Chain A
Amino acid sequence: MDSCLLCNKVMIYDMSLSFLLSFKRLPKRYVCAECMNRFVRIDQTKTCKYCGRQMDKPGICIDCQKWHQLGEDFVNQSIFQYNDAMKDFMHRYKFVGDYQLRMIFQEEIRKVIRKDVLIVPIPISTETEISRGFNQVIGLLGDIEYENALMVKSSHKVRQSSLNRKQRISNKQIFSINPKSISAITNKKVLLVDDIYTTGTTIRHAKDILMENGAKRVLGLTLCR
């Protein structure tokens, strides 16, 4: 019997007669229905056309209007809203370091990734990678192929989550390019993947450096916004 990775309760599967007669395989689940319901999907018909956040109607959000004035348009898609349940998930997955939780959203990520793009995960600093033991974005990717094209500049030791919005936006370039990846990104359509889009600064830094090094186009995908 499987138990829910989030609340530990034993999961009850739908064993109705119609299901049994359909001869479908039981879908692999990591989280019980009650916990899953606490996550709120972004309704993709009503989003900001740039950052992908949930809106009342399709349009451009205030933050992205500001970015637009700076000439920094960036198109991102996110799957879930960053609500309390997601906050809690991120805390347990990233900061407590419960690596097995990566499995909960792997399928969600896999479903939205198109085949014609080069996947580049946002990297984390070496210090974080050593203490955490894993890059949370690569964890979410599961067995999807990706290019480790970016590196965090070693002088950059401050965690983004310890900075406020203003500090983050004014932060200068935090990434450098992996020299081995230049040929792989040249003239490619790149999909940057991150766990969360907060102000959009991180992902824009990543986009800038990829464009400088020959990428044709750079889009974003984050688990939540």
Chain B
Amino acid sequence: MIKDVSELYGRQINATMVDKNLLDNSIVHKYVPIKVNSNNIYCKRCGQKTPVNRCKLPNNNYYCPVCINLDRVTKSIPLVYADEPNDFAIKQPVLTWQGQLTNEQEKCSKDIIEVFDNNKTHLLWAVTGAGKTEMLFKGIEKALTKGKRVCIASPRVDVCVELYPRIKEAFANTSMILLHGRNPQPYHYAQLTICTTHQLLRFYRAFDVLIIDEVDSFPFVNNEGLHFAVDNATKEKSAKLFLTATPTNLMTKKIKTNKLTASYLPIRFHRHLLPEIKLKYTKKWRENLKKQKLPRILLHKIDEKVKRNQRFLLFVPRIADLKPISDILAKQFDVSKWETVFSSDDKRMEKVSDMREQRKLFLITTTILERGVTFPGIDVIVFGAEDEAFSTSSLVQIAGRVGRKRDLPTGEVLFLAEENTLAIKSAINQIEYMNKKAKRLNG
């Protein structure tokens, strides 16, 4: 139950969650979130329409099934909000990060400051491991110093969880909150918000600066409700910065037609090239898997890595592939060396931290760990790389997990596939293309 008005600043919350006394406060506004048309309803929180037969409740009420993950909004219960007052105490030094940027990072960092100052919308296109987060720091510092409310959002909860301690360290004197659907902190008003893109649905005209990391990833990409939420969560005059290593076709088109400005960084912060993809064929692997057999090359590779104590991630296309593969490996290897991970896995967070803290040698995972996570010095194997679960951007991201640390800048990226696909080809091409550009920068 919300009792303090500051918890309503820039947010939109179901009236049932708000204390009665607060509802009578004159700075608290209300609105009915569902508009009923003849054949459909329109949800003002997520901006989406739903046919009446999908959303009518028996008591002549309506709800929005599109954004229901973030609590149900209905016609009968208003959403309440209070205007964002930017009521923040600014404590110096705002930026507590001591690091240095490379020349290339410095250039992008200046672009970002300019974007934030002038409330622009901009895309930062930087390769995996370019050091995107650090490039944001100066811009965020300036925005926070001016009393602006800042949000960094990502479609991926893992990315948020990984980002939060880094941002916390860099802005140690700023009030900060981490919001996501799993294990959420209780909400409090803070100048800096780190959250999943879904959480943006709970904000209304809150942010002066909104940064969206990994814009090309699921579930943000192609989700109109979340795109609507971006506009709703930001003030009318605000800066929006999108970050990606693998822009979608739509984004590149917008850049080409001057509808979106972009900064580009083709080289990693440690100036080593991106690890290139090795592709090997594994014929009829799916049929063989049913017979409880794995390709010899896969077993050989795993054996080699286990013997060398080389940590790695093994990506597989489907959740249903995890168990059979794990079961076969259990016959040959020590089962304490790995875990399987997928999106709705209850123990996902624990398993990832087991890997991070080196209690596990490898993880067998779906694309859920394709981005945002850094395990120093790992290799990756993609098994079944031809599957449509692996898009070009997935494959580039997966390859980008390797060689991210200055002292461990290389590693092996092996794709095992039934056949070569368009997605595999273009992933290989994208990496080669960026490496070519990077070589030019390196002189």
Contact = CB atoms under 8 A, between A and B. Distances in A.
Interface of A: 34, 37, 84, 88, 92, 96-100, 129-131, 133-135, 138
A97 B63 contact: yes
Contacts of A135: 58
Contacts of A129: 59
A175 B61 CA distance: 27
B58 A134 contact: yes
Given A98-B65, A98-B72, 12 more contacts: A34-B320, A96-B68, A96-B71, A98-B63, A99-B55, A100-B55, A100-B65, A133-B57, A133-B61, A133-B76, A134-B59, A138-B58
Nearest to A98: B68
Interface of B: 16, 54-55, 57-59, 61, 63, 65, 68-69, 71-72, 74, 76, 318-320, 344, 346
The A interface, classified by DSSP as helix, strand, loop or mixed, is helix
B393 to A, nearest CB: 18
Given A96-B68, A98-B65, A133 B55 contact: no
A133 B319 CA distance: 35
A130 B55 CA distance: 16
Contacts of A37: 320
Nearest to A95: B72
Of residues B55, B58, B320, which shows the largest number of chain A Cβ atoms within 10 Å of its Cβ? Answer: B58
A133 B59 contact: yes
Contacts of A130: 59
A133 B71 contact: no
Contacts of B320: 34, 37
Most buried by B among A129, A134, A138: A134
User: Top 6 closest A-B pairs, CB basis?
Assistant: A133-B57, A97-B72, A134-B58, A98-B68, A133-B61, A100-B54
A34 B57 CA distance: 28
Contacts, number: 40
A133 B65 contact: no
B63 A99 contact: yes
Contacts of B319: 34
25 contacts: A34-B318, A34-B319, A37-B320, A84-B346, A88-B344, A92-B68, A96-B71, A96-B72, A97-B63, A98-B63, A98-B72, A99-B55, A99-B63, A99-B65, A100-B54, A100-B55, A130-B59, A131-B16, A133-B57, A133-B58, A133-B76, A134-B57, A134-B59, A135-B58, A138-B58
Nearest to B223: A8
A133 B68 contact: no
A4 B182 CA distance: 22
A37 B319 CA distance: 12
Given A98-B72, A100-B55, A133 B16 contact: no
A122 B178 CA distance: 41
Nearest to A88: B344
Contacts of A138: 58
A98 B55 CA distance: 9
Contacts of B55: 99-100
A92 B72 CA distance: 10
A37 B323 CA distance: 14
A105 B61 CA distance: 23
B217 to A, nearest CB: 15
A135 B320 CA distance: 35
A133 B74 contact: yes
A84 B61 CA distance: 30
Nearest to A130: B59
Nearest to B55: A100
Nearest to A132: B57
Contacts of B16: 131
Nearest to B318: A34
B226 to A, nearest CB: 12
A138 B58 CA distance: 10
B247 to A, nearest CB: 24
A93 to B, nearest CB: 11
A37 B320 CA distance: 10
B110 to A, nearest CB: 40
A134 B344 CA distance: 28
B317 to A, nearest CB: 12
Most buried by B among A88, A100, A130, A131: A100
Contacts of B54: 100
A34 B319 CA distance: 9
